[in-house]
């Protein structure tokens, strides 16, 4: 019995999990109640996923051992079963039927060779012993339940024909197939766009109320927690540091780690009233105490008195996707259509948009990783199409690219020193040997690492450290423009806050310009001088950050802003109703998408003619 007078459906008692000799979870205890959502929050390495895999006993396969503790699960009345004492055969009956799970990656958790109907039916036939015909009817009902339009036709489709959001809804439908008592959702919306995330969260909340099930919601996103949770468990390095009701955690967090986590979350709207981006001090945890570090200053580095460093004019990029029998292109993906913007020295321009908006394609074209179909890119007053080979190679020195995934963008077989030295040696900036080695050491120190780390391999670093290595490499050739393609998205919030400050410090000291490609509105608000909002390869709104965020003129921008979950449980709101998926940007060759001409509504604030 507990404070609400409810019996917990899941009671975790002093659970410890270890892999080999290394303990991953230490003495974790918490309860999950029917009809309520318990959010488990923590950064990478906190053990939150191991916890969920341990409840399902899927961690056994990875070699986990459980030295102590109990996981009591009571599906009905009376004493529950200890899941740690069940054998795998007994667990197999519980999995999917009593406890269901949703994973992060909707792209890979459906089997590509079976139809949606087949996969939904499999669960129903397996656990509920239904006939195939019955199962099909039930499958259709489930798809309606997760608000998928045209459910009947969808049953015969294959996973690749569905968008990410639709697939995740199919995953939810599959998880709910046997009306589980407990649903474990492991970062279910992390891989999705904000508007799609908002929709999925709404569906999950409604379904929970309808079915009265308990939910464990694992996430790193404080905004999502505030939106979804009733109770919160904060995990740090395998231990529970704090637990309580969601309002309590957000209004008066007690543990310093929780306070640091909350302080690190960028809050949408926090920049109201400031004309420039602001570098804010960092709240860090030192010896169990919270300390503020670094200065608080305006980032007034942008210089608008000189001509722009980069000017993009009428840029169009498309990919051929479908060919006729005779090899003639019939359909094209019009990834970018007539986009234009400029970036001034010392300025940060953010390109925001959801997946498929063409924001990365633009970045890659500027970096010459992609050919453009039309339009021109001017760098330092020179058109790229007129540049000779040597000048183009020089451009690769002056423009640097930072990728989203610091795990994937470093060669695993080379030391980080080698990776950082590569641009220096490629462009012959310094002599091989001692001078280069010294410079690599300097660069590593510049990004807050130490020079002797040069001889280590990427796998020896954490995600945040790796992204610092990538930044050091980008700085190595003394560039003037850095394209940061979702460079902060894969990082934990506390690390993200550090890297944001690093970006700002470097901008101030080296006079760098940034093209900051992101989907995260709160980070964009914090970092950028000007913002361009992209939708299906066209600019919907472009202007100063204050204009776009505070005097929003285009409905799509409003939609994006309202979809961002706020890290404040008292501010839960009914969102702008979102309907449908983002349409495809693939069109027949002879019918390209219509263009939305931009109109200037205030000085420097352009908005597309409304069509969406």
Partner 1 sequence: MAFAAPPRLRRFASLEFVLGFLLLGGVVFCVVFSAWLFAPPGQISLSTRLLMPFQDAAHLFGTDALGRDVLARVAVGGWISLKVGFLSVMGSVVFGVVMGLVSGYYRGIWDMIVMRCADIQLALPFILLAITFVAILGGSLTNTITLLIVSQWVQYARLVRGSVLTLREREFILSARAIGVKNGAIILRHILPNLMGPVVVLMTLNVANNILLESSLTFLGLGIDPTIPSWGGMLAEGRTYLQTAWWISVFPGLAILCTVLGLNLLGDWLRDLLDPTGRTNR
Residues in the site for partner 1, rule: CB under 8 A? 367, 369, 393, 396-397, 400-401, 403-405, 408-418, 421-423, 425-427, 432-433, 436-437, 440, 454-457, 459, 470, 473, 477
How many angstroms separate the CA atoms of 217 and 37, rounded? 7
CB of 202 vs partner 1, minimal distance in Å:
33
Considering the complex, what minimum distance in angstroms separates the CB of residue 412 from partner 1? 6
Strands (E), 466-546: 481-485, 513-518, 530-535, 538-544
Output the smallest distance, CB 183 to partner 1, in A: 33
Smallest gap from Cβ 360 to partner 1, in A, equals: 11
Residue 288 vs 428, nearer CB to partner 1 = 428
Residue pair 553/607 in contact (Cβ under 8 Å)? The answer is yes
Q: Which residues pair with 381 in a beta bridge?
A: none
Cα separation, 98 vs 123, whole angstroms: 12
CB of 498 vs partner 1, minimal distance in Å: 22
**155 with 148: CB under 8 angstroms?**
no
Q: Which is nearer to partner 1, 183 or 399 (CB)?
A: 399
Nearer to partner 1, 273 or 428 (CB): 428
Q: Give the span between the Cα atoms of 156 and 114, in whole angstroms.
A: 9
- In the complex with partner 1, which residue's Cβ is closer, 160 or 413? 413
Closest CA to 546 of 350, 309, 282, 301: 350
Task: Estimate the crossing angle of helix 164-176 against helix 116-128, to 10 degrees.
Answer: 10
Minimum CB separation from partner 1 for residue 419, in Å? 8
Task: List, in sequence order, every beta strand (DSSP E) within 287-389.
Answer: 289-293, 297-298, 310-323, 329-343, 348-352, 374-379, 382-383
Report phi then psi at 454, rounded to 5. -60, -30
Sign of the torsion angle spanned by Cα atoms 576, 496, 283, 239 = positive
| CB atoms inside a 10 Å sphere around CB 226 | 24
Do residues 201 and 166 make contact, with C-beta atoms less than 8 angstroms apart? Answer: no
Please, what is the minimum distance in Å from the beta carbon of residue 413 to partner 1?
5
Measured from the CB atom, is 151 or 421 closer to partner 1? 421
For the bound state, the minimum distance from the C-beta of residue 409 to partner 1, rounded and expressed in Å, comes to 4
Of 95 and 473, the one with the shorter C-beta distance to partner 1 is 473
Output the smallest distance, CB 436 to partner 1, in A. Answer: 7
- Residue number with CB closer to partner 1 (266 or 417): 417
546, 551, 554, 557: CA torsion to nearest 10: 50
How many Cβ atoms are within 10 Å of 4's Cβ, its own excluded?
11
Strand partners, 501: none
Q: Pick between residue 5 and residue 20 the one whose CB is nearest to partner 1.
A: 20
| Beta carbon nearer to partner 1, 385 or 455 | 455
Residue 488 Cβ vs partner 1, minimum distance, rounded to whole Å? 15
Compare residues 421 and 527 and give the one whose CB is closer to partner 1.
Answer: 421
Structure token digits, residue 606? 């352009």
The set of residues, in sequence order, having a beta carbon less than 8 Å from that of 488 and lying 6+ positions away, is 467, 496, 499, 500, 518, 520, 523
- Closer CB to partner 1, residue 286 or residue 414? 414
Report the relative pairing of strands 289-293 and 329-343 from DSSP bridges.
unpaired
> Which of 32, 37, 29, 95 shows the shortest CA–CA distance to 61?
95
Rounded to a whole number of angstroms, the minimum distance from the CB of residue 405 to partner 1 is: 6
CB 339 within 8 A of CB 365: no
């Amino acid at each position: 019995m507990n404070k609400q007078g409810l019996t917990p459906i899941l009671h975790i008692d002093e659970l410890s999990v270890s892999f080999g000799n290394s303990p991953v979870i230490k003495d974790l205890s918490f309860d999950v109640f029917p009809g309520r959502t318990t959010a488990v929050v923590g950064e990478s390495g906190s053990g939150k996923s191991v916890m969920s895999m341990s409840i399902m006993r899927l961690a056994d396969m990875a070699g986990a051992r459980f030295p102590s503790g109990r996981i009591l699960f009571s599906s009905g009345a009376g004493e529950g079963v200890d899941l740690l004492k069940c054998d795998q055969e007994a667990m197999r009956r519980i999995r999917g039927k009593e406890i269901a799970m949703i994973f992060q990656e909707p792209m890979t958790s459906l089997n590509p060779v079976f139809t949606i109907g087949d996969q939904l039916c499999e669960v129903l036939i397996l656990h509920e012993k239904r006939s195939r015909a019955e199962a099909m009817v039930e499958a259709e009902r489930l798809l309606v339940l997760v608000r998928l339009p045209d459910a009947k036709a969808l049953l015969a489709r294959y996973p690749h024909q569905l968008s990410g959001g639709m697939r995740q809804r199919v995953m939810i439908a599959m998880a709910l197939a046997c009306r589980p008592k407990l649903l474990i959702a492991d970062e279910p919306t992390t891989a999705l766009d904000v508007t799609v995330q908002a929709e999925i969260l709404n569906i999950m909340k409604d379904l929970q109320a309808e079915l009265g099930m308990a939910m464990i919601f694992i996430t790193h996103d404080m905004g999502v927690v505030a939106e979804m949770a009733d109770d919160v468990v904060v995990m740090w390095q395998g231990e529970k540091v704090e637990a309580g009701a969601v309002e309590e955690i957000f209004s008066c967090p007690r543990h310093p780690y929780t306070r640091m986590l909350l302080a690190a979350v960028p809050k949408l709207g926090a920049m109201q009233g400031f004309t420039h981006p602001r570098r804010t001090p960092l709240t860090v945890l030192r010896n169990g105490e919270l300390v503020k570090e670094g200065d608080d200053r305006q980032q007034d580095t942008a210089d608008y008195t000189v001509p722009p460093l980069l000017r993009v004019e009428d840029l169009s990029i498309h990919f051929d996707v479908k060919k006729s029998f005779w090899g003639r292109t019939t359909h094209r993906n019009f990834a970018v259509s007539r986009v234009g913007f400029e970036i001034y020295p010392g300025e940060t321009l953010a390109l925001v948009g959801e997946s498929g908006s063409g924001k990365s394609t633009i970045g890659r074209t500027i970096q010459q990783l992609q050919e453009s179909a039309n339009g021109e890119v001017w760098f330092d007053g020179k058109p790229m199409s007129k540049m000779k080979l040597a000048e183009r190679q020089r451009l690769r020195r002056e423009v640097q690219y930072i990728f989203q995934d610091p795990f994937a963008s470093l060669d695993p077989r080379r030391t980080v020193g080698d990776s950082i030295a590569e641009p220096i040696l490629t462009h012959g900036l310094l002599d091989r040997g001692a001078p280069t080695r010294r410079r690599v050491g300097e660069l590593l120190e510049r990004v807050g690492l130490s020079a002797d780390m040069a001889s280590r391999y990427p796998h020896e670093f954490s995600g945040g450290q790796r992204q610092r290595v990538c930044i050091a490499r980008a700085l190595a050739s003394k560039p003037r423009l850095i394209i940061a393609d979702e460079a902060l998205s894969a990082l934990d919030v506390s690390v993200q806050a550090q890297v944001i400050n690093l970006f700002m410090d470097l901008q101030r000291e080296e006079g760098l310009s940034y093209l900051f490609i992101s989907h995260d509105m709160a980070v964009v608000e914090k970092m950028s001088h000007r913002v361009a909002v992209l939708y299906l390869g066209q600019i919907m709104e472009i202007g100063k950050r204050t204009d776009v965020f505070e005097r929003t003129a285009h409905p799509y921008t409003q939609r994006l802003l309202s979809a961002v979950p706020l890290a404040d449980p008292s501010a839960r709101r009914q969102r702008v109703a979102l309907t449908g998926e983002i349409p495809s940007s693939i069109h027949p060759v002879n019918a390209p998408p219509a263009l939305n001409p931009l109109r200037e509504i205030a000085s420097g604030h352009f908005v597309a003619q409304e069509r969406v």
